[in-house]
Structure 1
Amino acid sequence: MQQKFLRTAVVLGLLSAIGPFAVDMYLPALPTIGQDLRASTNAVQMSLLVFFVSMGLGQIVVGPISDMVGRRAPLLVGLGLFIIGSIGSALAPTVESLIAFRFLQGFGACAGMVVPRAIVRDLHTGNDAARLMSLLMLVFSVSPILAPLTGSVIIESFGWRAVFWAVTIAAVVAAVMLMTALQETRPAEHRVGSSFASALSGYRFLLGDRNFLGLTFIGGFGISSFFVYLASSSFILIDHYGLSPWLYSVFFSINAVAFIGMSQLTGMLADRFGLKRVVRVAVVGYAATMVVLLAVMSTGVEQLAVMASLLFVGYGFLGLVIPTTSVLAMEEHGAIAGTASALMGTLHFATGALAMAVAGLFFDGTPLPMVTGIAACAVIAFALTQLTLGRRRAVAEMPAE
């Protein structure tokens, strides 16, 4: 049983990691792409932004389809689109064509984001779901550690276009694993009554569910703080602090290590304290750390070691927030797990894209605008946690937990 649990986590984690892998390997190349394609910083950042937008919006469609036709078929089609987008990006002659193929690539990657969450809900609820989600996050989070390092080696050895050939190969491997190691988790009898009409009804219901929306946006603003970091970090660390692409990758990976390590404590802490209490405490630690970082940077202290240390602690707390809020948000929506996962993912990515766009408006090559955006997202997540899972509400709901 445990072996099957781990195998499922590995397959779902790899499917979920394909999209982020295409981002994280790509980050060290952003300044080089701008020079090679003679494009502005904003244009190069747009190739990152459209990927997130299409990956977010696509989930609205793919989630309900996975409720109607099952989980495997949408994953296979998504991987096919991702491969086409990756090949097009590798061959792009201009930044405009790169942006277009990145949009297609993101749309293909969306299935790997939305469907695995629905599969977790198909198989488990409660603390078991939290354990599977944290294991999935373990595999998924290997991407921010290995991908930038791998990407920097590929870029220095073969150029930035080779990154897209590498993710094409990864997508082919993921497709083989999907076909050979993952069974359908939504049988035909569970699909009866699932349609686009029922999906629209489900979306209306979920948009009226304050608990679902609150938990979704807590996780969404947590993810948004990382998106702000993604969009600006390579320019700041490489151009402002003078790091090489390889050293940038190491710096980037350190935060992923904190996120992964803490996420693996989710199951144990949930068993002892309950999922809601874990969220409340983790968000407090996350927000407090990021506010301290902003306060320090605002005084003119720009030492890289200070920023690295506080980001490490803050993103460690965030590693407890993301899996727990996802499980809690979907807990009561098993019958429309694909639709719920789709709306959650779309809201996450829409929030992240908006945060990236706003932070980009203030980008000046220094760390302060980036840190301000990160801290703002953390404070909003804290406020939403108080509204959604405040102590009074938590006491009232204690028997249910």
Structure 2
Amino acid sequence: MLLLLVAMTGIAPISLYMLVPALPVLARTFGSDISIAQMTVSLFMVGLAFSQLIMGPLSDRFGRRPVLLAGLCLMVIAGIGGVFAETLPQLIAARFFQALGGATGMVMSRAIIRDLYPRHRVGAMISLVIAVMMIAQMLSPLAGGLLEIGFGWRSIFYVITAVSIVITLAIAVALPETRRFSERVAGGGFVADLKVLGNSRSFVGYLLCYVIASWIIFTFAGGGPYVVVNQMGRSGAEYGAWFVTSGFAYLVGNLFCVRLAPRHSIEQLIWFGLALQLVGALLNVVWGLTGLNQQPAWLFLTHMIVMFGNAFVMSNAAAGALSIRPQAAGSASGMMGFLQMGLGALCSQFGAWLGGHFQTAIPLNISLVVLSLGCAASMFFLIPRNGKVATAAMIEKAEGEETGLL
């Protein structure tokens, strides 16, 4: 089960990053500007966002397994389309549909974990899946670059399509349906689930905490290349080497979260991560004011503290949000993924603007402080601090009693 969850979670992100090293070759091959070739990445992210918003509610209604298999079959078909694409618009369209299908695994893995495990174990399981998946994700750009050099850019689509077929067959054979039929029949539909979840302050708090924490990653990833290459005068290869440290810290943070989860509550782990996130971001601002983080080592080694804490925040905030209304875990997971990826693309652009229009990294680091404070505010003002989180079932019961009295 763990291997299946890792595979379905990672296939879309790995497909995204594998093609990145080949973007300059795509631009030359099709005689287009690099900004047009970049659309194979940007529209892929748009597809990831909208797919999660659609597939999550569908899985609540029809079950995890059929929706997941349908999405992965779409990814296989789109991968074949990418192999035989003759123009860049055809390739961009294939990538968009590839993302629509692949994102099904991302949203479904979180929902399946919530189907199978109690609330206090969800965060640890999400961390474990992410930790294993991160290893493959960090290696995917290298794999894509080697494939492009050795066999041409189409070989990337051959490999992605072959892996997609293997994962689809494995899920068809080995993955049981985790959502009970009684829950599907009793479900109120996407609009009803959205209304109940939206009326839960706890859900909104966990959702905002998760989404804003993810924006920290997108913002720094967008501005980091400009800071290192333009402001510090380093090469793109050196930036890539330093950026691996961020992924490594996130990986280690998830592993520590798995270890600590049995002895601590979700809220305790989130606040621990929030403290590290804020301390790391503040240290980077201090280094910027003193001039120290004009060296990549100061910038990235301190950012590792941010990413280590970020792992605690995201996995446990996701666990909290999914546990508010377990029978609508697919819809909740879809909303999380949509806001994460959809607005994350804007945060990446904002980070690039901060890195490209200033002479120091201070504005970028201040934005990370603001985002860290936003995570903390969502927990402080919206999540009860008495240890009792109001679930959607409680809300529905209260509404029913109120209606009866009226």
Calculate the TM-score normalised by the size of structure 1: 0.85
- How big is each residue's C-alpha offset from its partner over 1:327-385, in whole Å with a ceiling of 9 and x where there is no partner? 0111121111111111121121122122123334556399967x855752552243232
What is the aligned counterpart of 2:278 among 280, 283, 287?
Answer: 287
Q: Distance in 2 between matches of 1:137 and 1:30?
A: 26
Is the CA contact (8 Å cut-off) linking 2:202 and 2:390 kept in structure 1?
A: no
Gaps of 5+ in 1: 1-7
> Deviation at 1:116?
1.0
Q: Distance in 1 between matches of 2:26 and 2:325?
A: 43
- 1:4 corresponds to: none
- 2:300 corresponds to: 308
Q: Distance in 2 between matches of 1:92 and 1:362?
A: 36
Is the CA contact (8 Å cut-off) linking 1:14 and 1:139 kept in structure 2?
A: no
Change (3 A) 1:198 1:24: same
**In terms of mean alpha carbon deviation, does 223-232 or 311-320 score higher?**
223-232
> Deviation at 1:157?
2.0
Q: Distance in 1 between matches of 2:248 and 2:43?
A: 27
2:102 is the alignment partner of 1:109: yes
The two structures, once aligned, show a CA RMSD in angstroms of 3.1
The equivalences for 1:359-398 within 5 A come to 359-361=351-353, 364=356, 372-373=363-364, 376-377=367-368, 379-389=370-380, 395-397=385-387
Identity %: 24
What is the aligned counterpart of 1:260 among 251, 254, 278?
Answer: 251
> Deviation at 1:125?
1.9
- How big is each residue's C-alpha offset from its partner over 1:107-161, in whole Å with a ceiling of 9 and x where there is no partner? 1112111111111111112222222222211222223322122222223323333
Is the CA contact (8 Å cut-off) linking 1:227 and 1:353 kept in structure 2?
A: yes
What is the aligned counterpart of 2:203 among 176, 197, 212?
Answer: 212
Q: Distance in 2 between matches of 1:145 and 1:342?
A: 24
> Deviation at 1:187?
2.8
Is the CA contact (8 Å cut-off) linking 1:225 and 1:374 kept in structure 2?
A: no
- 2:263 corresponds to: 272
Change (3 A) 1:314 1:160: farther
2:338 is the alignment partner of 1:356: no
> Deviation at 1:398?
6.1
Is the CA contact (8 Å cut-off) linking 2:322 and 2:332 kept in structure 1?
A: yes
- How big is each residue's C-alpha offset from its partner over 1:144-199, in whole Å with a ceiling of 9 and x where there is no partner? 322122222223323333222221122112112212221111132321144xx621
**In terms of mean alpha carbon deviation, does 320-329 or 380-389 score higher?**
380-389
Change (3 A) 1:85 1:202: same
What is the aligned counterpart of 1:59 among 52, 55, 58?
Answer: 52
- 1:83 corresponds to: 76
> Which letter maps to 1:77?
A
Secondary structure at the aligned position of 2:321 is classed as helix
- 1:346 corresponds to: 338
Q: Distance in 2 between matches of 1:396 and 1:189?
A: 33
Is the CA contact (8 Å cut-off) linking 1:60 and 1:339 kept in structure 2?
A: yes
> Which letter maps to 2:253?
M
Gaps of 5+ in 2: 392-406
> Deviation at 1:325?
0.6
- How big is each residue's C-alpha offset from its partner over 1:262-286, in whole Å with a ceiling of 9 and x where there is no partner? 1122243233332112111212211
Q: Distance in 2 between matches of 1:213 and 1:65?
A: 21
What is the aligned counterpart of 2:174 among 181, 192, 200?
Answer: 181
Q: Distance in 1 between matches of 2:35 and 2:165?
A: 31
Is the CA contact (8 Å cut-off) linking 1:127 and 1:267 kept in structure 2?
A: no
Secondary structure at the aligned position of 1:359 is classed as helix
2:12 is the alignment partner of 1:10: no
Change (3 A) 1:16 1:399: closer
- 1:332 corresponds to: 324
Q: Distance in 1 between matches of 2:79 and 2:330?
A: 26
Q: Distance in 2 between matches of 1:372 and 1:84?
A: 43
Q: Distance in 2 between matches of 1:53 and 1:365?
A: 26
- How big is each residue's C-alpha offset from its partner over 1:310-340, in whole Å with a ceiling of 9 and x where there is no partner? 2323212211111111001111211111111
2:136 is the alignment partner of 1:146: no
**In terms of mean alpha carbon deviation, does 105-114 or 94-103 score higher?**
94-103
Aligned length: 388
Secondary structure at the aligned position of 1:184 is classed as coil
> Which letter maps to 1:259?
Y
Calculate the TM-score normalised by the size of structure 2: 0.84
What is the aligned counterpart of 1:70 among 33, 38, 63?
Answer: 63
2:192 is the alignment partner of 1:165: no
- 1:3 corresponds to: none
Q: Distance in 2 between matches of 1:202 and 1:183?
A: 24
Secondary structure at the aligned position of 1:186 is classed as coil
Is the CA contact (8 Å cut-off) linking 1:52 and 1:353 kept in structure 2?
A: yes
> Which letter maps to 2:272?
V
Is the CA contact (8 Å cut-off) linking 1:20 and 1:143 kept in structure 2?
A: no
> Deviation at 1:258?
1.5
